[in-house]
Amino acid sequence: MKSLLQKLTGIPGPSGYESEIRAAIRSEIEPLAEEVRVDNLGNLIAIKKGNDPKGQVIMLAAHMDEIGLIATHIDPNGFVRFTTIGGVFPHSSLAGRVHFLNGSQGVIGQETPADINKIPTFDKMFIDIGATSSKDCPVQVGDLAVFDQPFLDLGDRLVSKAMDDRIGVAILIETLQQIDTSPNTLLFVFSTQEEVGVRGASTAAFSLEPDIGIAVDVTRSGDTPKGVKMEVALGKGPAIKVRDSGMISDPRVVDWMVSTAEKAKLPYQIEVLERGSTDARAIQISRAGVPAGCISIPCRYIHSPSEMVDLKDAVNSVRLLVELLNQKITFNQE
């Protein structure tokens, strides 16, 4: 999965501008599904039909967009002022390198601070692309950029920008490759605009009307020095979400995931996330409601240019998904 992940994280795809990453994913999945299509909001949908007419329709979602920046003003000296696309943080942005979708590159600088120990706000930052004036600046207002960092292979630990959520995308691609037949009809959705409000998953779930929903996304970890107090760590298995700030997972889905992991002797963790949410929230409240849950990949330095995951967690997530999707499953409505 490393080479696939390196390929996926290297492709720019800020929210609303996912065409390049969508094309790359499509080339990977086209031979694996009965139908592949793109909907009006740009979601890439692959359908694998089940072999049991009484099987469930299961929607699996991993978002392909990433956080980014957008130019708001070019000053007379060619410095680019910007605002954010999604959850970008000032403390992890300063001095970071960026890559504009038009090919321009630059570095994030700041105005001379009154207090060097204080993190500047974005209105005190700019992007320096080496221009000397607004006339020779190749960036225009409205141009988008993503962070520009090389993929770092530290053995099982892998670091890159856009691990959120290209790790989820890679897991769904690997799952689609490993499932030959299933009693359930499987809807693999590579969604758009998750980072700006789970927009793609909202329209996809409304259109597809699944019986069950599963998101695959990253979550925070509590395993760094004096880090957030959270019972999730890299390398200890996929995290089964119970709650985040946007949803409470359906207890039936949680029990199904836990019992399946235990039966298959797969490592897992229980996740309670205090900040943030996923596409599962959008699926859960679609139409009349959908039983939904989430398989989360522990990630350090989330929403930064250098997000870290453990490859073993991704591999075990694929194994868990294959076990789940090959089951006949019905949920008691009471």
Cα-based angle 312, 67, 38 (whole degrees, multiple of 5): 85
Task: Work out whether strand 144-147 and strand 68-74 pair parallel, antiparallel, or are unpaired.
Answer: antiparallel
pLDDT (tens digit, 9 = 90+) per residue, 184-195?
A: 999 999 999 999
* Closest CA relative to residue 313, chosen from 175, 156, 189: 156
> Is residue 250 included in any domain, yes or no?
yes
Query: pLDDT for 148-182, tens place per residue?
Result: 989 999 999 999 999 999 999 999 999 999 998 99
Mean pLDDT by 10 residues, the chain (334 residues): 96 97 97 96 97 94 98 97 96 95 97 90 96 95 96 97 97 96 96 97 97 97 92 97 96 97 98 95 96 98 96 98 94 71
Same domain, 26 and 124: no
Burial of 91 (0-12, 13-18, 19+ CB in 10 A): exposed
Find the domain containing 205 and state its range. 2-66+161-325
Residue 14, pLDDT score: 98
Q: How many residues does the chain have?
A: 334
Q: Is residue 315 part of a domain?
A: yes
Q: What is the pLDDT of residue 200?
A: 97
The angle, 0 to 180 degrees and rounded to 10, between the axes of the packed helices 311-325 and 163-178 is 40
Gap between the Cα atoms of 122 and 101, Å rounded: 20
Among 117, 147, 177, give the residue marking a domain's end. Answer: 147
pLDDT attached to residue 331: 84
Q: What share of the chain is helix, strand, coil (3-state, %, to 5)?
A: 25, 30, 45
Domain assignment of residue 156, yes or no: no
Q: Per the domain annotation, does 30 fall within a domain?
A: yes
pLDDT of residue 332: 75
The CA-atom distances, in angstroms, between 274 and each of 71, 220, 222 are 31, 10, 12
Residue 79 lies in a domain: yes
Q: Which residue has the tokens 């019905």?
A: 330
CATH value at residue 49: 3.40.630.10
The predicted pLDDT at position 227 comes to 87
Residue 154 forms part of a structural domain: no
Residue 85 belongs to domain with CATH number: 2.40.30.40
Question: Could you give phi then psi for residue 299, rounded to 5 degrees?
Answer: -145, 125
Q: Output the pTM of the full model.
A: 0.96
Number of domains in the chain: 2
61 and 72 housed in the same domain: no
Report the pLDDT value the prediction gives residue 333, as an integer from 0 to 100. Answer: 67
pLDDT tens per residue across span 109-146 = 999 988 989 999 999 999 999 999 999 999 999 999 99
Confirm if 21 and 63 have CB atoms less than 8 A apart.
no
Give the list of residues 6+ apart from residue 10 with CB closer than 8 angstroms, or none. 151, 160
> Residue 272 falls within a domain, yes or no?
yes
Separation CA 98–CA 95 (nearest Å): 9
- pLDDT at residue number 270: 98
- The residues that are catalytic are 194
Spatial CB neighbours of 232, under 8 Å, sequence gap ≥ 6: 219, 220, 221, 222, 223, 239, 269, 271, 296, 298
pLDDT score recorded for residue 45 = 98
Check whether residue 185 and residue 272 sit in a common domain. Answer: yes
72 with 9, same domain: the answer is: no
Maximum Cα–Cα distance across the chain: 68
- Burial annotation 304-325 (CB, 10 A radius, 16+ → b, else e): bbbbbbbbbbbbbbbbbbbebb
Give 120's contacts (C-beta < 8 A, 6+ positions apart): 90, 94, 110, 111, 113
